[in-house]
Amino acid sequence: MVLDYYNLKEQPFGVTPDPGYLYLSASHSEALASLSYGIRSRRGFMSLIAKPGMGKTTTLFHLLRQLEGSARTVFLFQTLCSPKALLRDLLRDLGVVDDGGDAGRMHEQLNRVLLAEARHGRRVVVVIDEAQNLEDSALEWLRMLSNFETTSYKLMQIILAGQPQLREKLASPHLLQLRQRMSICARLHPFSEEETHLYVRHRLRVAGYDFKTPLFTPQAGALIAKYSEGIPRNINNICFNALSLGCVLKQKSIREEVVRECLHDLYFEVEGANDRDEEPAERKLIPGRASKPTPAREPWWRRRVAVGVMLLLLCFTGGRWSPEALRLHSLLAVSAASQMGAIKLTSAAPTDHPSPTFAGVNGEREQNTKLAPETSADEASGSPEIVSSTPTQEFRQHPPRDLEQTGDPAQLWAQVKNENSDAEVELARLYIEGTTVPQNCEQAKILLLAASRRGNARAADLLSNYDGQCR
């Protein structure tokens, strides 16, 4: 849905370290060049240190891709292990079958592999990610591996990649010998504001965006740069959520208010908008001469439930806009708009209420919105004043069904698409129990919240015991 709406080939803000999306900032380019030079110079030990989420793994994958054909490469990421287990993992990645031998035998096997690769003119490059988790004994064992060498060069080159704690470990006095062997120490620094904008554009370009319309307004881009702190993982998370919410709100160019709401949902402390329930500016009703204070907007989670239900529906319809998906989208949009509360307006105040009549797709369903004006007598003038126009909705009543006996998820989903709250509760129960379908607590919660919003009492009961029931 999101990809189709923004004309993207693939998700530009994924969570996997895809080298195809690597953006080479100044520090990333320098780090990559330093490590490449160290490998060509056959240096023994090198390190790459950066904060979490800075793209260390992506940079290393890009480096290993450059070495294809000229070096035998090993990438180790399981570092919460003993030195012997680390050696066993290294041998396995080099194609040596584990025969359960002792440490001495494994060292002999490693030496034979390294000499064989050297005779074929290939380097052996070992990358150890998350190296800050290595015990001091494992780091000392790695230092001893540097003794595999000829009189002219090292048989194996090792790159330790990790968070700033790795630098602290290497600075300890009892690892002095390892630190002395560290020929190159590369670092990655957070993006500047300009680099953040270029990073977002780069990923959108790789994903196939045409830039006919700026995907983020300048104000939205400034918010992303400020609160991501220039960390690529934070940028990806903010942009991914902004694309999802922007698609639901039908914003071809994502505005500041959408990004601000996503920052709240991701637990960023946003200045000037500490109240989660504050209404974004472009969706506020414009107040006229109100006779009573304006009540708070709808709870923030209503729109999130609508987004979740829509995305779930699309998962079961192949990811395209089917007629059922269009009907649900339209009904959710009207429902969200109509639940914004009874805002007190004068008759001259413009409103963004939905139109009085809404026709469903293909004429299969019609939802009526009735305007119920409230009046208050003005004793001084004797003329009534229109105080508010509160939309009320009439949903189609569903025929009663014996849903307790329905165990077919496909049948339940068909009824969920028709907004049957009993079906939503029953399907949520199946997801919680994990019997007929695999347990899926997130989908269950979304379904229960949607049913509860429709006033289903069973949904409220299940939600009250949700934490104890859903593992």
Average pLDDT over residues 429-449: 77
Residue 14 lies in a domain: no
pLDDT for 289 beyond 90: no
Under the banding of pLDDT at 50, 70 and 90, the label for residue 447 is confident
pLDDT of residue 212 exceeding 80, the answer is yes
Verify that 236 and 112 share a domain, yes or no.
no
Task: Give yes or no: residues 154 and 218 share one domain.
Answer: no
Whether 97 has a pLDDT exceeding 70, the answer reads yes
Same domain, 175 and 225: no
Asked whether residue 457 falls in the same domain as residue 313, the answer is no
Q: Is position 18 within any domain?
A: no
Do 196 and 177 lie in one domain? The reply is no
Asked if 223 and 364 sit in the same domain, the reply is: no
Is the pLDDT at 399 greater than 60? The verdict is no
Among 338, 363, 396, the domain-final residue is: 396
Domain boundary among 243, 268, 283: 283
* Domain-embedded: residue 20: no
User: Per the domain annotation, does 15 fall within a domain?
Assistant: no
Residue 443: its pLDDT value, please?
76
Coil, strand or helix at 461: helix
pLDDT grade, residue 359 (50/70/90)?
very low
Arithmetic mean of pLDDT, 230-245: 95
Taking residues 261-280, report their average pLDDT.
67
Q: Which domain holds residue 315?
A: 287-396
Same domain assignment for residues 277 and 299:
no
**Are 182 and 218 in a shared domain?**
no
Separation CA 350–CA 358 (nearest Å): 20
Q: Could you tell me the pLDDT band of residue 218, with boundaries at 50, 70 and 90?
A: very high
Tens of pLDDT, residues 137-162: 999 989 888 888 777 788 899 999 99
pLDDT at residue number 334: 41
Q: What is the CATH number of the domain that holds 145?
A: 3.40.50.300
Q: What is the DSSP string of 145-185?
A: HTT-B-SSSBS-EEEEEE-HHHHHHHTSGGGHHHHHTEEEE
Among 264, 283, 302, the domain boundary falls at 283
Phi-psi region of 208 (alpha: psi -120 to 50; beta: other; left: phi over 0): left
Q: 170-202 pLDDT, tens per residue?
A: 999 989 999 999 999 999 999 999 999 999 999
pLDDT of residue 281 exceeding 90, the answer is no
Domain count for the chain: 4
Q: Is the domain of 182 the same as that of 196?
A: no
Dist. CA 90–CA 76, nearest whole Å: 7
Q: How much is the pTM? A: 0.59
CATH number at residue 231: 1.10.8.60
pLDDT score, position 434 = 75
